Copies of this chain bind each other. A is one copy, B any other.
Amino acid sequence: MIEDTIYINKLYDCYGNLLTVIQREYFEDYYFQNLTCQEIGENKGISRNAVNKQIKDTVTKLEFFETQLKLCQKRDKIENVIENIEDQKIKEEIKRIIWE
């Protein structure tokens, strides 16, 4: 479960910008603020089930982006490969680009 959360946070870091404002709000309330669906629902004035569905749909969307673009996977691979670069300046420069 925790591993799942770490993975989902990685996906959000890569693809969060492709989500709508509402999707980001619910996602962040749930995964970053650790609010329950019940609590988010009360704050927004919608049902617990509607919040739950919204968050599930958002995670599905993030997973779809990763299936299609593989950005997280590529970032991990590049991070591994650049460990072997001797020139620290080049290494840092590539790291900066993939994380900016």
> CB within 8 Å of B: which residues of A?
14-15, 17-18, 65, 68-69, 71, 74, 77-78, 81-82, 84-87, 90, 93-94, 97-98, 100
Question: Can you list 10 residue pairs at the A/B interface with Cβ under 8 Å?
Answer: A15-B69, A18-B65, A18-B68, A69-B71, A71-B71, A74-B97, A74-B98, A78-B94, A82-B94, A85-B87
A1 → chain B closest CB, angstroms: 28
**Once bound together, how far apart are the Cα atoms of A78 and B91, in whole Å?**
11
* Given A68-B17, A69-B17, A71-B69: A90 and B81 interface contact (C-beta under 8 Å): yes
Q: A78 to chain B: which residues have CB within 8 Å?
A: 78, 94, 97-98
